[in-house]
Amino acid sequence: MVLEIIKYGHPVLRERGARITAITPEIRQLAADMLETMHASKGVGLAAQQVARAVQMAVHDVRGVKDRPSTMELDGRPADVDSLMPLVLINPEFTPVGEPVSGPEGCLSFPEIFADISRSQTIDVVAQNLAGETLRFRCGGLLARAIQHEHDHLRGILFIDRMSRASKLEHQDELDLLRAETKAALKARAR
């Protein structure tokens, strides 16, 4: 089922996600719904907070993006990124390996707003999958950027928090408008 993606101004986007301690049928269903929602919106990543569920789970799929490559290494050997997509990460953690690089970023909770954000080029990731197994891999490029962006969401951190002061100023009016619209919609719904 395609879920509603909540927008900037919704309080759940600022909540830290609870650690997932058991892969229940509800968690499996949430993962399936998040994948469907991400694909319907043509996103490369989606965190549970963005569907108003503050738990530590994010989904990723970089197959649709050909002009911004991703790399993956499993056990020190290059692996086929596409064969590992879509990727569901539960309780993900990462360690930066490469230097930070600046690159364009957007967010499904901030429609039409894009800015350059600095992220590590390469990261080592540890997470659980839906089978409850521990995944360990190194990745780079777009996938590394997406995983860092979603990892932030799981902690209530948004890409506007990492924008340069100049980018944020440039987008301030759009951000204020989006937040006001979200708050007004929430208020209307509460009536």
Residue 44 as a binder of Zn ion (CB under 5 A): the answer is: no
133 labelled catalytic: no
CB of 153 to Zn ion, least distance (A): 5
Residue 62 as a binder of Zn ion (CB under 5 A): the answer is: no
The answer to whether residues 17 and 154 touch, using CB atoms and an 8 Å cutoff, is yes
Cβ proximity to Zn ion, 3 vs 23, nearer residue: 3
For residue 86, cis peptide bond before it (omega within 30 degrees of 0): yes
| Active-site position among 112, 150, 170, 174 | 150
The DSSP-derived string for 87-138 is EEEEEEEEEE-S-EEEEEEEETTEEEEEEEEEEESEEEEEEE-TTSPEEEEE
Q: Which stretch binds Zn ion (CB under 5 A): 34-42, 93-101, 105-113, 137-145?
A: 105-113
Cβ proximity to Zn ion, 27 vs 107, nearer residue: 107
The whole-angstrom separation of Cα 63 and Cα 70 is: 9
Residue 139 as a binder of Zn ion (CB under 5 A): the answer is: no
Active-site residues, by number, are 150
Point out which residues bind Zn ion (CB under 5 A).
Answer: 107
